[in-house]
Amino acid sequence: MRIDLKGRRALVAGVADDGGFGFAIAKSLAECGARVCVATWPPALNVFEMMWKRGKFDASRRLSDGKLFDFEHVFPLDAAYDNLEEVPDDVRNNRRYAERGDFTIQGLTDSIRRQFGPSSLDIVVHCLANGPEVARPLMDTTRRGYLSAISTSAYSNVSLVSHLAPLMRQGGSFLSLTYLASERVVPGYGGGMSSAKAALESDTRYLSFEAGRRFGLRVNALSAGPYASRAASVTGMIHEVVSYYENNAPLPNRLEPSQVAHAAVFMCSPWAAAITGTTLHVDNGLHVMAKGLGPNDLNWLGLEQSVAETA
């Protein structure tokens, strides 16, 4: 059984290199036959385009049939803004923005409608986050930093759903990426990012009801385990968190972006047609654990060594 997405169009918002979940999801969608567009943050777009042209991502672009996949289109997107009137002058006049036309969520919506027509999208993946004060404890976060984290990392998903839902075809699906820090305390995940992820998950439930009844669309979230992407490295703690998962999760393995991508493709495919409003954990099961493993815990289980050690 294969997931077949031929004839479907996907948009993955939040791809600027080949080292994060967005790229892995885009590649897996392409592997299943979907046409894939991406939306990229203007400050990262020049470097992304240059590296793409120079073939720096060619190894990552290779599909199982040996061919290199390509994006159908790369849109500029700053998900902190819904329309150009909201954009402060210093951003709008910044060289990296000024050359890109309308990079807001309204601009993205207009471009998709212009380019592909009024009923042209099947899958939208929100795979972006930004919290300028993520390295600060919540207690030391400014109002400005907190609101910025929520605006870019959570409200942007509400806005994408409300703008793009009218362009979605029957059976369409939205997915966003979240993290366990919304439910549990992960020291180091500060700046209001934990609050943003909690909002993202709550919004997923409300949006599933509203977009389900208004448009017949599904809205889900996927709570990924930690991976040392560019964004995650900003916290300065990612390697420690990755090791904690490997040592303490039910499946003591390193999480691969492709595993997150496969779950994402399933959630966006017709195989998940009755799943909406849910947050699916793809984290080797760590979310079910309420205690880190102590020296005697594996002995108690009748094991002398961890599975990782014996492999």
Ligand X SMILES: NC(=O)c1ccc[n+]([C@@H]2O[C@H](COP(=O)([O-])OP(=O)(O)OC[C@H]3O[C@@H](n4cnc5c(N)ncnc54)[C@H](O)[C@@H]3O)[C@@H](O)[C@H]2O)c1
Binding residues vs ligand X (CB under 6 A): 14-16, 20-22, 41, 44, 77-80, 127-130, 152, 177-179, 224, 226-227, 229-232
CB-nearer residue toward ligand X: 152 or 204:
152
Alpha-carbon gap, residue 3 to 264, rounded angstroms: 12
- The secondary element (H helix, E strand) that includes residue 222 is strand 218-224
CB-nearer residue toward ligand X: 215 or 244:
244
Alpha-carbon gap, residue 205 to 134, rounded angstroms: 25
CB 250 within 8 A of CB 285: yes
Contacts of residue 226, Cβ cutoff 8 Å, sequence gap at least 6: 179, 232, 238, 241, 242, 245, 255
Alpha-carbon gap, residue 156 to 124, rounded angstroms: 12
To ligand X, the closest distance from the beta carbon of 89 in angstroms equals 17
CB-nearer residue toward ligand X: 79 or 268:
79
To ligand X, the closest distance from the beta carbon of 304 in angstroms equals 31
Sheet (strand 168-178) strand order:
73-76, 35-40, 9-13, 121-126, 168-178, 218-224, 279-282
**Residue tagged active-site, from 81, 97, 146, 179:** 179
Q: Is 189 a catalytic residue?
A: yes
Give the angle subtended at the CA of 188 by the CAs of 185 and 190, to the nearest 5°.
80
Give the residue from 40, 60, 58, 59 showing the smallest Cα distance to 48: 40
To ligand X, the closest distance from the beta carbon of 233 in angstroms equals 8
**Residue tagged active-site, from 81, 97, 189, 227:** 189
To ligand X, the closest distance from the beta carbon of 184 in angstroms equals 13
Closest-by-Cβ residue to ligand X is 20
CB-nearer residue toward ligand X: 60 or 171:
60
Give the residue from 217, 236, 216 showing the smallest Cα distance to 226: 236
What 135-144 contacts at long range (C-beta under 8 Å, 24+ apart), as own/partner pairs, is 135/188, 135/190, 135/191, 135/234, 135/235, 135/236, 136/190, 136/191, 137/190, 138/190, 138/191, 138/192, 138/194, 138/195, 140/190, 141/190, 141/191, 141/192
Alpha-carbon gap, residue 244 to 287, rounded angstroms: 12
CB-nearer residue toward ligand X: 20 or 107:
20
To ligand X, the closest distance from the beta carbon of 61 in angstroms equals 16
Q: Is 244 a catalytic residue?
A: no
To ligand X, the closest distance from the beta carbon of 295 in angstroms equals 27
CB-nearer residue toward ligand X: 229 or 279:
229
Active site residues: 179, 189
